[in-house]
Amino acid sequence: MLRYDKYYIPKDLNEYFNLAEDIKDYRIVAGCTDTLPWARDGRAGDVYIKNIIDITKIADLNRFIIKKDKVILGSAITFQKLFLDKDIRQNVKILPQVAVWFADDQIREQATIGGNIVNASPAADGTPVFLTLNCNVNIVGQKNKQNYQRNIKLEKFILGRNNVDLKNNEIISHFELDNIMDYCCSFEKVGHRRSLVISTVCVSCVVRIADDKKTFSDVRLAVGGVSEIPKRLLNTEKFLIGKLINEENIIKASILDLDVINSRSRIEYRKEVLKNFIIRSIINSLKTKISLKENTINNFYLDKKESIYA
């Protein structure tokens, strides 16, 4: 059970910083989709927090800007917006794909992208996707009554399980992501059940095809659920960039980063899933841009359900 004395909803950053300075003892919340389950009996138990500061109404955290090469997403933007917004669907196609896997409509209406990232869960769906979008995290804080900003790459922001690089009264203002309008992409996920599932393995794939329609111009892959911190699959990416798009290269690439798995259980299962998800995410991405029958990937049986969904 969660109990608190006061619940504050600041409307701008200055109001938030003044509250943080005055009340000292507080917990920041956004959609509360992690806080409430955490405070349930059987997890954190009977939780008492003196003050709660809800940051979802701060205007600067809700801004949304699309540029030719970059997309700015405020940290208080919900997963439902990622799922429904037409501009996001056009410019950052992978975000609706991860959003549709993110619980149900009610949770998506509340859950924020900032909350998903800042909680730093090994199974967070948003982190692998943001990694493949070369995400930079913009952080705001206040010192001696002066507001400041700092910018850090997502892979350096997440320090470990439930541990991120936020100091004192700092909060995430927004995320800066690559505009991938010219890319194709796919998000793959599996867990212990079919609905509202927590990832056992999830893979984000972002691919650009060269002008010759035969080679990989850019490949970005990241995995979550298999280690303390979601990670880019750098060996796989390096191997494929510049290579011909064919079965041989994709299959060779699929086994190059299996050592990222350091789970305490079901390691061999996760290796098999990761290998197949790498293959499937690449091919599902390519299907949105080229006819595979006109290229070198022919009759490649991808839907290996006995290994992926065991």
Q: Are 97 and 137 in a shared domain?
A: yes
Q: How far apart are CA 250 and CA 184, in angstroms?
A: 16
Domain co-membership, 104 together with 209: no
Residues 118 and 140 in one domain: yes
**Do 143 and 205 share a domain, yes or no?**
no
**In CATH, what number is assigned to the domain containing residue 268?**
3.30.390.50
Strands of the sheet with 136-143, listed across from one edge: 64-66, 70-74, 171-178, 136-143, 146-153
Residues 72 and 96 grouped into a single domain: yes
Shared domain for 145 and 245, answered yes or no, is no
Q: Are residues 189 and 276 in the same domain?
A: yes
Is pLDDT above 80 for 23?
yes
Largest distance between two CA atoms of the chain:
65
State the residue range of the domain holding 103: 59-178
Instruction: Tell me: do 67 and 93 sit in the same domain.
Output: yes
- Per-residue pLDDT, averaged over 116-141, amounts to 95
Number of folded domains in the chain?
A: 3
Share of the chain above pLDDT 90, in %: 66
Say whether both 50 and 63 belong to one domain: no
Mark whether 197 and 279 lie in a shared domain. yes
Query: Would you state the pLDDT for residue 2?
Result: 74
Task: Mark whether 248 and 166 lie in a shared domain.
Answer: no
pLDDT given at position 126: 93
Amino acid at 259: D
pLDDT tens track for 269-293: 999 999 999 999 999 999 866 655 4
Q: What number of H helices and E strands is found in the chain?
A: 13, 14
Q: Are residues 31 and 98 in the same domain?
A: no
Judged by average pLDDT, the poorest of 65-74, 110-119, 152-161 is 110-119
In this prediction, residue 43 has a pLDDT band, given cuts at 50, 70 and 90, of low
